[in-house]
Structure 1
């Protein structure tokens, strides 16, 4: 299967070169070379082709995955309005929730679920800005989900989950490089987010343990604190920027892309181990850990970036 996915990725590269689906660096970019865009299409392709060899399972999820992947791929080629993109995301999440039978839950949980899932999809998309980070973080997260499924509690199809991991490994081969062969593109980061959330929600619903949201804690900390500091600076949240901590480490501190990607992945891996080995299932433990993590991460950012950059209105970003 790995070889088949590898071949599909190479075919996509040929098509991308032919139809000029490439990424040109701009003032917000953390790269300087023209690179193929949309290599992350392999994430959705792997699962959308799964009925051929795994049978037709999770049909509503696959339709939702197709929708978010299609609209994101179009957006990679030609910019689409936020209204259209969010509407398609909303339809996809409706299908996802139907697949997971979430409409049997109280209405307030469903509403919270919509907000959290759509917000998380966009957060993971925004975190895709340097070589290696999407693949490494995705591998750590899916890898831990696979371990939990195999050794802690069975909550999903192991073959389906393994297929997603193989797709990430194929992408890593081409992206986890100093000079990447391809970028994930919106089609990659959004579809991977949708896939991860599908498995994560399955796990949470199976165990009734919200602590498993900590499997996305590092990305959540970077995104949440970035929004917090942008609000303090009175910036428009909807405007493009490169204010994330990982972007500061690469663009200002000049750390190598792959080093930063590894730092994020390893940090999340350590949190995953703590989650599995030490944490209880109580909501209070979750809230306390999230609060402590936010405070610590904010302190790290203040010490590393400096108060002027984080708190001063309209700082220089480029």
Structure 2
């Protein structure tokens, strides 16, 4: 318990120091016509997630050196390139190259290269990089990344303690503590900071690493649905943009949460809470169900997808979008 109290204090002090640096060097997020916020806010508060891993290494040095080194290198690489991209725009080739190396390190860490046939490796790469970008796409309003990650991590912690132990408990507790500290500054009507790419990519990488570990341990692919709300929203939005012949790589405001925030003027905090709540309900169903993955997908995606499309159609019709 004392360890975790110390970790919380270290993370609080670290993020406050970062605020001073970000303010001095003008690391800010300026709202534009595609933004869901209207005020200039400090960017890069998600740097707390790689810091949390560094603190984890300090408290668990032996395990970090022998067990978590490849994960750590991948996390720090993807966070570093994302933080640089937060400050100055980098070419997509540079970003994707670092993402590719980071995913290689993550798959090595999870044992996927030994446990999965080689022809599955490209599929894993596409799924992981796609999920990382989904995390980034969905990071658009106060509280969304922090609450959603907290939901996923809490579910993984429960699975690790009560269902099957697939990693050390502390390896899940540290990002939970980091999420709580980040939410203290972000889950507000007027957020003190935004996660930035460093935050969405950093916590996304950690959550995906844990889910991949769990799948490799159990051989049960249903656990990919622990992120099903993000996955469904991003996939359906991409399909919509393809049908409208839009460039899917350009920034937009077509996500359902953006329509509620920008057009309906619903509170960012309420939207983030509802997204996390829906995912929590799905996770509780997944954890305690014995359905095969294909049936779980149907049970989840038919009603939730129908609700999503219905709400989106109603809002677009109401606001002539």
- TM-score class, shorter-chain normalisation, is over 0.9
Does the 8 Å CA contact 2:83/2:197 hold for their aligned counterparts? yes
- The match for 1:73 among 54, 79, 83 is 83
How far is 1:48 from its partner?
Answer: 2.5
Does the 8 Å CA contact 1:218/1:268 hold for their aligned counterparts? yes
- The match for 1:269 among 268, 280, 283 is 280
Q: Structure 1: which 5+ runs fail to align?
A: 310-314
How far is 1:109 from its partner?
Answer: 1.8
- Corresponding position: 1:158 with 2:169: yes
Distance 1:181 1:159 in 2: 28
4+ residue runs over 6 A deviation: none
- Corresponding position: 1:86 with 2:96: yes
Which TM-score applies when normalising by structure 2? 0.93
Aligned pairs for 1:80-119 (under 5 A) are 80-104=90-114, 105-119=116-130
Which TM-score applies when normalising by structure 1? 0.94
Distance 1:307 1:253 in 2: 10
- Deviations along 1:150-197, whole A, 9 cap, x unmatched? 111101110111011000000000000000000000000011110000
SS of alignment partner, residue 285 of structure 1: helix
- The match for 2:19 among 13, 16, 32 is 13
Q: Structure 2: which 5+ runs fail to align?
A: 1-6
How far is 1:282 from its partner?
Answer: 1.6
Query: What residue in structure 2 maps to residue 312 of structure 1?
Result: none
How far is 1:287 from its partner?
Answer: 3.8
Query: What residue in structure 1 maps to residue 3 of structure 2?
Result: none
How far is 1:228 from its partner?
Answer: 1.2
Instruction: Give the total of aligned pairs.
Output: 309
Does the 8 Å CA contact 1:210/1:281 hold for their aligned counterparts? no
- The match for 1:29 among 31, 35, 47 is 35
How far is 1:307 from its partner?
Answer: 9.2
Distance 1:31 1:93 in 2: 32
Does the 8 Å CA contact 1:209/1:281 hold for their aligned counterparts? no
- Corresponding position: 1:240 with 2:251: yes
- RMSD between aligned alpha carbons? 1.5
Instruction: Compare the two structures and name the one with the higher helix fraction.
Output: 2
SS of alignment partner, residue 264 of structure 1: helix
